[in-house]
Amino acid sequence: MSIRIGIYGYGNLGKGVELAIKQNPDMAAVGVFTRRPPEAVKTLTGIPVYSVSDAEKMKNEIDVMIICGGSATDLPTQTPTLAELFNVVDSFDTHAKIPQHAANVQAAAERAKTTAIISAGWDPGMFSLTRLYSSAVLPDGKDYTFWGKGVSQGHSDAVRRIDGVLDARQYTVPIESAVNAVRAGQTPDLSTSEKHERVCFVVADESADKARIEREIKTMPNYFADYKTTVHFISAEEMAREHKGLPHGGEVLRIGKTGVNGEHTHVVGYSLKLDSNPEFTASVLVACARAAARLNQEGVYGCKTLFDIPPIYLSAQNREDLLGKLL
């Protein structure tokens, strides 16, 4: 029988989940739950749309609810609340607040005997797994995480809020010389701003002072002030043509030493080049939904992360095939 999935929230991530479910024959999408009027939402594949207020009624028709809200304001309340009713998966990605979020979700899921997998995606998610495996195997070593080249939604929004800016797209770009040094096995001390530069494409109002906009971007604290930042003013047409996608990616590296006197260097690298950040993240959430359903069936309740889950629980293939063909 298929694993029946509910999709809670229908932005880019929710749409990605809908599409990812279609790639997994052991899964079925029950429908989308939205805060908007359901009749105003049309799904990509024609699955039904419900109001979020109908979710509770459908408790017995859904094996796992994938929560596709934002980390800033949605997930901190949605995930614990929904974990009282459903097995859930989320992509909570405010790294510093993960322990608190985990504690809140754990309390709810334990009470309700549900299984919740939080902070799934690629960072946190696949990148975190690489950091964990690599540091467990090479304890004498140093980690590096590079992000990009890719669109940062938060930085794009920050530029859009500047007076005279009609539209903006910000790319986070890893600094080539830094990446190459680490790939070569060196272990420089690098701050985030020494690892990345920021490239902005801006559509400005015709009457706006571009020099002022550029200055406001480059001096914006936290977002840009510490970084090498480049600003390109482009037309609305060029923005629509060249920057409509949401690509992202990055690379996690660990440089580790072994030997009698640390004379051998090992470089472990994990990289992602994603045409669509939300669709890849959604694909991780869907694999985690499979794991959540299985763990719950086995009586494993509470708040889990990818760190806690045997990898095999994510796969649709059976163990015999995996040991014979993939191991």
Chain contacts with its own copies (rule: CB under 8 A): 16, 19-20, 23-24, 44, 95, 98-99, 102, 119, 124, 126, 128-133, 135-140, 185, 256, 258-260, 263-276, 279-280, 282-284, 287, 290, 305-312, 314-317, 319-320, 322-324, 326-327
Distance CA 318, CA 161 (A): 50
Closest CB to its own copies among 22 and 160? 22
Instruction: Write out the two tokens for 303.
Output: 């708040």
- Please, which residue, 181 or 312, has the CB nearer to its own copies? 312
The least CB distance from residue 41 to its own copies, in Å, is 17
Bridge-based pairing state of the strands 165-174 and 302-304: unpaired
Instruction: Please report how close the Cβ of residue 282 comes to its own copies at its closest, in angstroms.
Output: 8
Quote the least distance from Cβ 185 to its own copies, whole Å. Answer: 7
Nearer to its own copies, 22 or 35 (CB): 22
Mapped onto helix, strand or coil, the DSSP state of residue 52 is helix
Calpha distance 19→281 (Å, rounded): 12
Least Å from the CB of residue 75 to its own copies:
15
Alpha helices in 175-262 (DSSP H): 176-183, 192-195, 210-218, 236-242
Give the residue with the Cβ less far from its own copies, 81 or 258.
258
| Peptide bond between residue 325 and the one before it cis (omega within 30 degrees of 0) | no
Shortest approach of its own copies to residue 53 CB, angstroms?
29
The nearest distance, CB 208 to its own copies, in angstroms, is: 34
Cis link prior to 124 (omega < 30° from 0)? Answer: yes
Q: Which is nearer to its own copies, 67 or 203 (CB)?
A: 67
Grouping H, G, I as helix, E, B as strand and the rest as coil, residue 245 is: coil
d(CA 176, CA 7) in angstroms, rounded, equals 39
- The residue (of 166 and 322) whose beta carbon lies closer to its own copies is 322
Q: Which residue in the block uniquely carries the two structure tokens 């929560």?
A: 67
